[in-house]
Amino acid sequence: MVEKTSVIRRFLKELPNLRESGIIDSTTEDNLQKHFEARIAAAPSPQKYFLLALSVIGSVLIAGGIILLFNYNWDMFTKTTRITIAFLPITLGAGLSIYTLIAGRAQTWRESSAVFTATGTAVVIALLSHIYHTGGTLSEFMTLVLLLALPLLYIFNSITLATLYTLGLFMALGTWRESTSLPMVFCLLAGILPFAGWHLYRDRSPYRIWMRYLVMGLAVFALTAFAGKYSPGLMLFTVGALFMMAAMTLQKRGEKMRRNPWLLSSFFFLLIILSIGSSAVGNIFAIAQPIPEGILYFWLIEGIFLFLFAIIFMVEYLRKQIDFQRVMMLILILIALACTFGGIFQNDHIYTRLALNIYMGVFGITLLIRGCRETNMLAFNGGLLTCALLIGLRFFDADIGVLARAIGFILLGLGFIGANIFFSRKLAQAKSTEVNHVQS
C-alpha cells in the first residue's frame, strides 16, 4: 500500500505537465486529482502502522505487568480464585470474538479477537496445568494450544495468528530431550496449508505478499521436522527447486524483488546445498535408519513438495513458458531421486559428488549465458557467483599450497569485478541504444 501511494503521488506531480503538453485538459486534471487524492486519504499512512506497533508493545507491557502482579500474589489466592483468574482471559477473548462477528467489525478487530482468544486459551491451559500439577512437556503444551487456535485462524482469517501459529510450530517440536509425536506435528502443519494456499492463490488477497514470506517458514519447519527421517538431501533439493520454480514464475510476471522473496532465498539455498553435496564432507543423500513411522511422514511431506512442483511445471508447460532454467530444476529433482534410490551411492558417494559438480557448473554457465543474452544483471551475477564458488571449492579439495590458493582467489575476485564492470557497460550501452531508437 505504501508503494502504491508513492506511485500515486508521483503521478499527481506529473498532471500539470500532462495538461501543458495537451495530453489532458484542465477538467480531466481536476477529476484525476480529486480521485487520487481521495485514494491517498483512504490509504493507511505509515504513521498509523507505527502507532499500531506502539499500541501492541504497550499492550504487551501492560499484560506482562498484570501477569507479574498475579504471580507475586499467586500463593495467597484460593484454588477457586486461581481457576477464575485462569478462565478470565479466554472469557474476555470469547466475548470480544462474539461481538466482532455479530457486529461485523473491521479486520483489525478480527485480528485482535483471534490473537486475544488464542492467547487466553494458552493462559488457561498453562494455569490449570500449574494448579493441578498435571505436568507435561513444551511439545505437548504447544500442540494443544495450536490445535485449539487452528479454528480461530479460519474463522477470523487472521494473518497475525497465522504468523504466531508458524512460530509456534517450531515450539511444538519441543527440546532435543523430548520425543515428538509425528502424527500430531504433521496434522498441525497440514492444518495451516489450506489457509496459506488460499491466500497465495487469490490475486486480491491483502495477505498474498506476506504469505510468500510465511510459507518459507513453513518449509523450514517441514525440513526441520521431517527431512532427517529418511533422506535429508532429497527433501532439501526438492524444496529448493520448488521455490526456485515458483520464483521464476513471479519474476516472469514482473514482480519486484521485495514482492518475490523466493528468488534470492531459493537461489542461495540451492547454492549452499549444492556446495555441500559436491564436496567431500559426506553423502548428503545418505539414508537414515529411522522408525517406519518416520519414513511414512517423510514421504507424505516429500510427496506434497513433489506434487506442488509438478503442478507449477505443468502450468508453465501449458503456458509455453518452459525454458532451460526450469528444465534444470526438474533435472535437479531427478538427480536427487537417483542419488537417493541408487544403492551404489550409499557406500561411495563419489558419483553423487561428480553429478552435483557437473550440475553446478552447467547451472552457473547457463545463468551466465542467460544474463548476457537477456542483458539481465541478476542472472549474470548469479551465474558468475555459482561458477566462482564451484572453482573456489575445488581449490579447497585440491592438493594446492596456500600461496597458489591465495593467487587463485585474487584472480577470481578480479575476474568477478572485471566481469561486472564489462557487463554494466554493456547494459548501459544497450539502454542508450534503446533510448536513441525510441527518440528516432
Q: Residues 149-167: pLDDT tens digits?
A: 999 999 999 888 899 899 9
Q: Say what the pLDDT of residue 151 is.
A: 94
Contact (CB, 8 A) for 244 and 226: no
Residues 6+ apart with CB under 8 A from 145: 118, 121, 122, 125, 168
Q: Which residues of the chain have pLDDT under 70?
A: 1-7, 11, 39-74, 135, 175-178, 280-282, 289-290, 343-348, 396-409, 411-440
Q: Which of 302, 366, 354 is nearest to 328 (CA)?
A: 366
Quote the longest CA-to-CA distance of the chain.
Answer: 88
Q: Say what the pLDDT of residue 268 is.
A: 94
Q: Say what the pLDDT of residue 231 is.
A: 84
pTM over 0.85, yes/no: no
Is residue 185 exposed (0-12), middle (13-18) or buried (19+ Cβ within 10 Å)? buried
Q: Say what the pLDDT of residue 369 is.
A: 85
Question: C-alpha grid cell for residue 326?
Answer: 526450469
Q: Say what the pLDDT of residue 112 is.
A: 84
In the block, cell 505436568 appears at: 135
**Rg, the chain, Cα only:** 28
Amino acid at 241: A
Q: Say what the pLDDT of residue 181 is.
A: 82
Q: Which of 171, 131, 397 is nearest to 278 (CA)?
A: 397
Give per-residue pLDDT as tens, 206-263: 888 899 999 999 999 999 999 888 888 899 999 999 999 999 999 888 888 888 999 9
Q: Which of 94, 87, 88, 86 is nearest to 155 (CA)?
A: 94
Q: Say what the pLDDT of residue 344 is.
A: 45
Contact (CB, 8 A) for 82 and 127: yes
Q: Say what the pLDDT of residue 305 is.
A: 96
d(CA 370, CA 384): 11
Give per-residue pLDDT as tens, 268-304: 999 999 988 887 656 777 777 667 888 899 999 999 9
Q: Which of 83, 95, 335, 368 is nearest to 231 (CA)?
A: 335
Domain ranges of the chain: 77-212, 230-373
Contact (CB, 8 A) for 253 and 315: no
